[in-house]
């Protein structure tokens, strides 16, 4: 006598044989299901990779920092608008006074954008006129999350004396120096000025098309002299030594800077204080809409696959009516017939799901590779895809399976 395990194996064997006998039809259905799962898993894997890249890049910028800057700058993402109103710029004197008077356990740095179209030259080699030059002080590398690969940082005395020194990005160093040449202490031309290279930064990579690896940093006081322009606005970065003090430090900084700006109690703050992760949070929030859209696309595709699978199973029932009658005539129960057709639908669904998950992971990780994040296996979406395919298979196979199980064996045996 057959036990339940033997019956299960027999039904699985029959299901496999049926799939092989209708191979082209089964492959097309598997591909339809695979496309739906690939769209779902692939897009969501890519979104996870982009989220990881955004989080990583903003962590490198300083996870527990905040910035004080002019409210003239505005950021417009989606339907949200930030800093849309123009306010007075921040002067070097105000920024320097804040740095001197902010008695809080934190590192404070002052920076300013010099130009974004500089040409940097060393001997006969020069760059295109697209090098960003930034004026910084001795604390900027710490508060900005930068690390020195070769050489050293600026000193406080060098900043005060407006020395002609430069710290350059790793890509910039590769562009203007031959392989094997040590950039340290070499004299480079930035625009019309001559600067001695004292440091090369470790590579931070690029994010969303932007990279600091070709940037050039010189003393902030030097930028004031040689890249001066009207209403030059300075930026203040603050990094509390204890991340838990970030909120308290933000409040203390706002209070002090209001005093420096001579604002009355009733006046609105005419400057911005933004935490380092604010922009990252805005971007991540907007990615949630993409996630919803990807899910809807995947579900619509799977809905089409479910209809296709149900149609195939109904055709299969019609084609195998005599076989069903024969099996019932020799003693097969209706539950066994129903189980056989359900197994067939589940196998097709799981084959499609496995192929879709594999293609989705590959597609998503191609995006991960392009944004510089490590290989990702989205286990949540993988498990979700398996469960979703099981649900689609059961929903599609139930009606044909019930129809097959209810066939009258006498009528089925007479079916032509």
Model pLDDT for residues 277-287, shown as the tens digit of each residue: 665 666 666 67
Report how far residue 59's alpha carbon sits from residue 277's, in angstroms, rounded to the nearest whole number.
8
- Element (H or E) spanning 355, and its range? helix 334-370
Same domain, 145 and 28: no
Same domain, 100 and 223: yes
Mean pLDDT of 160-180: 92
Model pLDDT for residues 27-49, shown as the tens digit of each residue: 888 888 888 788 778 877 887 77
Last residue of a domain, which of 248, 275, 302?
Answer: 275
Same domain, 359 and 262: no
Report how far residue 271's alpha carbon sits from residue 71's, in angstroms, rounded to the nearest whole number.
5
Residues contacting residue 265 through CB under 8 Å, at least 6 positions apart: none
Model pLDDT for residues 171-210, shown as the tens digit of each residue: 999 999 988 899 999 999 998 899 999 999 998 765 444 5
Same domain, 258 and 327: no
Residue 10 or residue 199, greater confidence: 199
Same domain, 394 and 333: yes
pTM listed for this prediction: 0.57
Same domain, 69 and 155: yes
Same domain, 53 and 66: no
For residue 390 the two structure tokens come to: 């099981």
Overall number of domains in the chain:
2
Sort strands 187-190 and 75-77 into parallel, antiparallel or unpaired: unpaired
Domain extent for 253? 62-275
Answer positive or negative: Cα dihedral of 390, 392, 396, 402: positive
3-state secondary structure of 366: helix
Model pLDDT for residues 365-399, shown as the tens digit of each residue: 887 777 667 777 778 778 877 887 788 788 777 88
Residues contacting residue 144 through CB under 8 Å, at least 6 positions apart: 61, 62, 65, 109, 111, 237
Last residue of a domain, which of 231, 250, 275?
Answer: 275
Report how far residue 170's alpha carbon sits from residue 175's, in angstroms, rounded to the nearest whole number.
9
Residues forming a β-bridge with 108: 238
Same domain, 226 and 83: yes
Same domain, 48 and 143: no
Same domain, 8 and 90: no
List phi, psi (to 5°) of 26: -65, -40
Same domain, 242 and 318: no
Last residue of a domain, which of 255, 275, 295?
Answer: 275
Same domain, 33 and 174: no
């Amino acid at each position: 006598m057959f036990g339940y395990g033997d019956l299960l194996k027999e039904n699985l064997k029959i299901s496999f044989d049926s799939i092989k006998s209708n191979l082209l039809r089964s492959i097309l259905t598997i591909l339809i299901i695979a496309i739906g799962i690939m769209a779902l898993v692939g897009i969501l894997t890519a979104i996870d990779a982009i989220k990881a890249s955004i989080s990583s890049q903003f962590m490198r910028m300083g996870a527990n920092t905040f910035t004080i800057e002019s409210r003239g700058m505005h950021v417009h993402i989606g339907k949200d608008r930030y800093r849309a109103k123009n306010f007075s710029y921040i002067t070097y004197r105000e920024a320097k006074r804040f740095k001197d008077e902010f008695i809080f356990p934190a590192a404070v740095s002052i920076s300013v954008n010099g130009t974004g179209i500089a040409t940097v030259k060393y001997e006969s080699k020069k760059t295109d006129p697209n090098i960003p030059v930034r004026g910084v002080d001795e604390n900027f590398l710490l508060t900005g999350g930068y690390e020195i690969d070769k050489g050293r940082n600026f000193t406080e005395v060098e900043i005060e004396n407006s020395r002609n020194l430069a710290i350059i990005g790793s890509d910039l160093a590769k562009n203007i120096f031959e392989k094997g040449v040590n950039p340290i202490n070499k004299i480079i031309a930035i625009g019309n000025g001559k600067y001695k290279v004292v440091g090369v930064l470790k590579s931070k990579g690029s994010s969303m098309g932007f990279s600091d690896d070709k940037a050039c940093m010189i003393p902030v006081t030097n930028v004031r002299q040689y890249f001066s322009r009207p209403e030059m606005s300075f930026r203040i970065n603050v990094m509390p030594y204890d991340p838990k003090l970030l909120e308290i430090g933000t409040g203390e900084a706002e209070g002090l800077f209001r005093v420096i700006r001579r604002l009355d109690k009733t006046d609105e703050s005419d400057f911005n204080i933004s935490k380092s992760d604010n922009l990252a949070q805005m971007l991540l929030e907007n990615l949630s809409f993409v996630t919803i859209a990807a899910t809807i696309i995947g579900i619509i595709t799977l809905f089409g696959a479910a209809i296709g699978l149900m149609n195939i199973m109904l055709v299969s029932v019609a084609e195998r009516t005599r076989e069903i009658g024969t099996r019932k005539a020799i003693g097969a129960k209706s539950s066994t017939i129903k189980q056989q057709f359900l197994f067939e639908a589940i196998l097709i669904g799981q084959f499609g799901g496995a192929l879709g998950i594999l293609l989705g992971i590959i597609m998503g990780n191609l995006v991960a590779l392009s944004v510089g994040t490590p290989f990702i296996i989205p286990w949540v979406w993988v498990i979700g895809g398996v469960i979703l395919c099981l649900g689609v298979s059961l929903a599609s196979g139930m009606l044909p399976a019930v129809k097959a199980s209810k066939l009258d064996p006498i009528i089925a045996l007479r079916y032509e």
